[in-house]
Amino acid sequence: MTTWASLRDEAEQALTAAGLPSPAVDARWIVGEVAGLGNGSLDAGADTAAPALAARRVRDLVTRRAGGEPLQYVLGAWAFHDLTLMVDPRVLIPRPETEQTVEFALAEANRLGIRTGRRSPWQGSDTTARVADLGTGSGAIALALATRLPDVQVWATDRSAAAAAVARANLAGIGSAATRVRIAEGDWCDAIPDDLRGSFDLIVSNPPYIAERELADLPPEVLHYEPIGALVSGPTGLEAIERVIADTPEYLTPRRGTLVLEIAPHQSAAAQARAEDAGFAEILVERDLSGRDRVLIARGG
């Protein structure tokens, strides 16, 4: 009899043999996913028989992970804030740094007087503020903000039709907040209708910020599986950052609107200089959990 516990042990052995850094954790995730427990404990039913189809599914997923495919793609979903997002090679895997970007964006929303919390089911659909997520990918930032800011309309843009399709699939999973989200295909602010210029209280973005010369330094599971266009900006790594900083003042509300932009730590000084050139009145850089410069905040203009 093949039990869930024996499947987990088998998976861990296979992933250990493949040289993966955390075989026990990955095995637990994979078996838990197939068992319908997410990353939950198997203790209660560890010694019960696993159906043959489930055992085959576990072994298929283990084979993919052993081949180097990221665990998040193998599972097909990953947690981000209070959401579970579908992820596959059309979009970047949501990372802890970007969760922090969302937290800084929420803090800026609070500073601007935008209410946080949950929308009452008895309220209408009117909104009092407008937010944009440029280069939305899976929709992680846009959907997290939509669920935490009950009075905002959120625009999520991406030039990749494939990424926008993933974002729309994830949009369907956030309940009534989805009625306040618009997903538009196009390059950065170009996807936003002209009549909305000057109306965004908050614009957030996690753009590509890796330089072409840094490609060789990426881990194989990033280089070979994640969409390079969502990682690499160009020869310097600043190209997308410069574009977003230059374009957003025209779309932000005058003297009030704020840009929250994820950057690489070594780009901090350059990003601040670009924001000064763009006319922002107040500029600061916040650090990530590792103490590295990570999020540019540019206010007013």
Regarding whether 95 and 47 lie in a shared domain, the answer is no
Strands 293-299 and 258-262: antiparallel
Regarding whether 37 and 144 lie in a shared domain, the answer is no
Interval 221-279: pLDDT, tens: 999 999 999 999 999 999 999 999 999 999 999 999 999 999 999 999 999 999 999 99
Regarding whether 56 and 189 lie in a shared domain, the answer is no
C-alpha span between 56 and 139 (Å, rounded): 32
**Residue 97 counted as domain residue:** yes
Interval 196-218: pLDDT, tens: 999 999 999 999 999 999 999 99
Regarding whether 252 and 190 lie in a shared domain, the answer is yes
CA angle, corner 180, sides to 121 and 206, nearest 5?
A: 130
C-alpha span between 159 and 134 (Å, rounded): 9
Regarding whether 166 and 241 lie in a shared domain, the answer is yes
Structure tokens at 252: 């932000």
Interval 66-114: pLDDT, tens: 999 999 999 999 999 989 999 999 999 999 999 999 999 999 999 999 9
Interval 135-188: pLDDT, tens: 999 999 999 999 999 999 999 999 999 999 999 999 999 999 999 999 999 999
pLDDT of residue 39: 61
Residue 116 half-sphere exposure toward CB, CA atoms < 13 A: 13
Regarding whether 294 and 147 lie in a shared domain, the answer is yes
H-run or E-run covering 11 = helix 4-17
The residues, any chain, with a CB within 8 Å of residue 121's CB and separated by 6 or more, are: 176
**Residue 279 counted as domain residue:** yes
Counted domains in the chain: 2
Regarding whether 106 and 214 lie in a shared domain, the answer is yes
Regarding whether 210 and 130 lie in a shared domain, the answer is yes
CATH of the domain at 106: 3.40.50.150
Contact, 112 vs 105, CB < 8 A? Answer: no
Q: Please tell me what DSSP assigns to residue 92.
A: P
The domain of 12 spans 4-67
Residue 81 half-sphere exposure toward CB, CA atoms < 13 A: 19
**Residue 77 counted as domain residue:** no
Q: Which three-class secondary structure state does DSSP give residue 135?
A: coil
Regarding whether 111 and 16 lie in a shared domain, the answer is no
How far apart, in Å, are the Cα atoms of 107 and each of 5, 70, 202? 44, 31, 11
Regarding whether 114 and 232 lie in a shared domain, the answer is yes
Regarding whether 283 and 150 lie in a shared domain, the answer is yes
H-run or E-run covering 259 = strand 258-262
